[in-house]
């Protein structure tokens, strides 16, 4: 089965590193047109330039998903450049506060994590869905986590934010289906990304448990394998999928 997303118009947030970078590369290789939103300017610009030299159509925007004005303006500009939006893949996210006790948990970390992971998801969907509703079609992929749905998160803020994204996706799935928009949240497991590695290193340093750290390192999966699942989820071949997709 060949999955063809040629000429699809795609917005990807958090696409400069980790899973997002592999998603951008996979869609670019398959001739999608991509608007990349991130705050990692060096990585985002370098990736865009590298892929454009290979014949891809990709443009980078500096965009903080917590800022409603930035999101509104970025989506407007991207829509004009893309000529519509077929797919939104919201991968922007942070994990902070790993292994901190609740009574010592910093308020600023809580606000930052909730802001990027949950409020950022809301703002991206708010502004992109307006375009998709007019088109009467679209696919939206949000990033949740088993940490927010199944429990056992290393961070109170992270688990709460991802649980919120999961609930948000379920509501969207119900409300946007009548407009021809398919919504999913993906729950990646332990993936070999800068975010995950920083988390397990922080936990190791706080707890002193080097054995647990090494055990976790052994089970980390490749970001490109998660990217392949996301690519399939965005295709017409996945049109019968519903709800959340959990991975290793």
Both structure tokens of 159 = 């688990």
Both structure tokens of 77 = 């500009």
Report d(CA 61, CA 40) in Å as an integer: 10
Catalytic site residue from 60, 122, 156, 158: 158
- The verdict on whether 122 is a catalytic residue reads no
CB 86 within 8 A of CB 139: yes
Distance from the Cα of residue 70 to its chain's centroid: 17
Strand residues in 39-190 grouped as ranges (E): 57-62, 87-90, 138-143, 181-187
Q: How far is CA 216 from CA 123, 134, 191, 212, in A?
A: 33, 45, 10, 6
Active site positions, annotated: 158
């Amino acid at each position: 089965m060949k999955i063809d997303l040629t000429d699809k118009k795609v917005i990807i947030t958090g696409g400069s590193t980790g899973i997002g970078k592999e998603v951008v590369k996979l869609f670019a290789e398959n001739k999608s047109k991509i608007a990349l939103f991130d705050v990692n300017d060096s990585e985002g610009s370098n990736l865009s330039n590298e892929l454009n030299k290979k014949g891809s159509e990709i443009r980078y925007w500096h965009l903080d998903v917590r800022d409603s004005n930035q999101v509104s303006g970025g989506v407007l500009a991207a829509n004009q450049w893309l000529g519509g939006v077929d797919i939104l893949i919201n991968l922007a996210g942070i994990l902070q506060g790993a292994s901190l006790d609740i009574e010592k948990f910093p308020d600023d970390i809580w606000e930052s994590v909730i802001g990027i992971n949950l409020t950022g998801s809301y703002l991206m969907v708010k502004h992109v869905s307006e375009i998709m509703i007019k088109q009467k079609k679209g696919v939206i992929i949000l990033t949740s986590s088993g940490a927010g749905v199944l429990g056992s998160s290393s961070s109170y803020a992270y688990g709460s934010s991802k649980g919120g994204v999961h609930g948000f996706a379920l509501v969207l799935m119900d409300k946007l289906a009548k407009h021809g928009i398919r919504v999913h949240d993906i729950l990646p497991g332990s993936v070999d990304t800068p975010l995950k590695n920083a988390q397990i290193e922080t936990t190791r340093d706080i707890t002193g448990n080097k054995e647990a750290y090494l055990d976790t390192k052994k089970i980390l999966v490749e970001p490109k394998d998660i990217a392949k699942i996301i690519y399939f989820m965005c295709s017409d071949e996945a049109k019968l999928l519903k709800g959340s997709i959990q991975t290793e």
